[in-house]
Amino acid sequence: MSTAVCPGSFDPITLGHLDVVRRGAALFDEVVVAVASNSAKQPLLDVDERVELAARAVADLPNVRVAPVTGLLVDFCRDAGADVLLKGLRGGSDLDAELPMALMNRHLTGVETVFLPAGRTVLHIASSLVKDVARHGGEIDDLVPPGVGDAVRAALAARGGTRP
């Protein structure tokens, strides 16, 4: 059985992430979406909410599950029985960031990283941009799975409002 782990901060999950997961689900027997809870980034949404939103977004994909990951990703892959990491690439700057991680992960345990080119319709979508648009009161519901926009707006409001 082939299992791929699709890791990320998913803060929040976007239609770009979902595109990669969907296409991965057609390539592998099982895809595990691994939501990093020890990200160096300061997340807007706590890990439980990121896991919950991701789980709702992939609910129609029977061979996809979502789990939080703490510690090294390669250890998570070993525990999940996965020998492949799955990542999307939107362009050169993504590759610059991803290549060292892919090489390090392969160095650590031999796990390979498979990159899927982002779909044309979601190429412009990044969690950081989604949060920035929302922070300034812009519309994000067509960039994220259902329910995610409300969660982002609520988290921003709890932090003192959607505008600077």
Q: Which residues bind ligand PNS (CB under 6 A)?
A: 7-9, 36, 39, 41, 72-73, 101, 104-105
Nearer to ligand PNS, 41 or 161 (CB): 41
Which C-beta is closer to ligand PNS: that of 7 or that of 24?
7
List of long-range contacts for 94-103, beta carbons under 8 Å, 24+ apart: none
Q: How far is the CB of 56 from ligand PNS (least distance, A)?
A: 18
Tell me which residue has tokens 């031999």: 110
The residues carrying an active-site annotation are 17, 41, 90, 127
Cβ neighbourhood burial of 115 (10 Å; 0-12, 13-18, 19+): middle
b/e code 1-28 from CB counts within 10 Å (16+ = b): eebbbbbbbbbbbbbbbbbbbbbbbeeb
Sheet with 30-36: strands ordered across? 64-69, 30-36, 3-8, 84-89, 112-117
Cβ-contact 118, 87 below 8 angstroms: no
| Cβ-based nearer residue to ligand PNS, 20 or 140 | 20
CA dist 29 and 46 (Å) reads 29
